[in-house]
Structure 1
Amino acid sequence: MSEHRLGQIVIERPRNGRRISQKKVTGYKKFLSQITQEASEDGLFSHYLIKNKWRTKYFSDNLSPLERWLKSKVGQPWDAVYSELCQKIETKTLAGQHLISHLWQMVERHVIFIDRLPYSRHNLYHAYPLGKWKDALYVHPETGILCLAKKLPKIPKKKPDDLVVVDKYKEYRKINDLWYLLTFDIPCGAIDKKLHSEIRNIDGSIYIARRRQCNKKEIKLILQQIK
């Protein structure tokens, strides 16, 4: 990839859709159409009106080159990386501004560390660390270095230690430290949400056709399956 054409490469991509003649637009739509024409000449995909929805060709962003370029700068001071990028693109044009807007989506600049994991200060309400879903770029809050948070490995779900499903009509469940075999008159999955609260209260729910306390042999088998 030529870094000298980064601004053009990032947002240029073949158009999708099909060509259909359009009616002449006037007023505000005409103004939007003119913006679209200017943006398309610069290789820019506009989020506004290009042509009538579902009836013509449309542009799409190609952001992979920008992401690869940023990852190649990991370990360098963010100010230097940003300065270099601004020298490669025309930040005063619509295309340049569009690219910069994507840059802020790719690089998290406001970070706080919790248990050695980087979090976005703007998204603490949801409390997901950067890299939970995919690789994430961020600026280190102390050093100002561009860093990469690798995608976190998936943690396998822990098997419940109070439930063993036999089939869709039967299951072993531990209630108040005692194991029971529960038999249902309809499939367990169909009433799962209702069932959990009913069983927890042991109120003789109509969904449970039979409840029998397990013997020692059954408990031994249950513990083997849980382990």
Structure 2
Amino acid sequence: MILGMDTSSDTMTIALFHEGVVLGEYTTNLKKNHSVRLLKAIALLMEECGVKPTDLEKIAVAKGPGSYTGLRIGVTVAKTMAWDAKIPIVGVSSLALLAENGLYFSGKVVALMDARRGNVYAGVYQANSNHDKMENIVTDSHIALTDLLEPFKESKEAILFIGTLTEQICDTVSETLGERAIFARADTTYSQASTLVKLAEKLDGELADNFVPDYLKLAEAESKWLESRRSE
């Protein structure tokens, strides 16, 4: 039995998975505080599915990148539950989860999130020959949007962009790539915990004590603190 959760963005999604079947999934795509909703949602889903905490064998969580606050909420809950139950925790890239929505697209899939100030969190993925798995062909990174798009300028193939994107990001992508830029439908722009738990099924995981989120970039306050320490 696997419990999965993702709170790395405005989307809060949780799911239960057992022996190849998604028993239940709860997803909202709202700008609300995950900290007051996540535990209640987990308790409700487990009750509806008739699952007890002792039934869980693994906890899966989106490990980032994404919202610092959102990531910390999800990772803290996942680590606490895994530690208490003495079961492994599996972290999956938030961008990899988004990219899975493009599994049946024939070309490159760019999963991205707005990182502000002209930057994005992005990874480039492509389905394998069987279209049963997305492969990461350009490592997830924090990058300027213009730099991300540069390698695609000379390409003639269509490229699928997945993520809840700002109008400014969409305009920049369209201006750079023209008709070759394809944007995912609204219902496929956010992650789903049902995807997370299915990916986690094949991963061993690690001890909760050792697990850390993958921010890809320090929070602004942390960056300023480190910079001030270097200048002392």
TM-score interval, smaller chain: under 0.3
The TM-score with structure 1 as length reference comes to 0.24
Q: Provide TM-score, normalisation by structure 2.
A: 0.24
More strand by share: 2
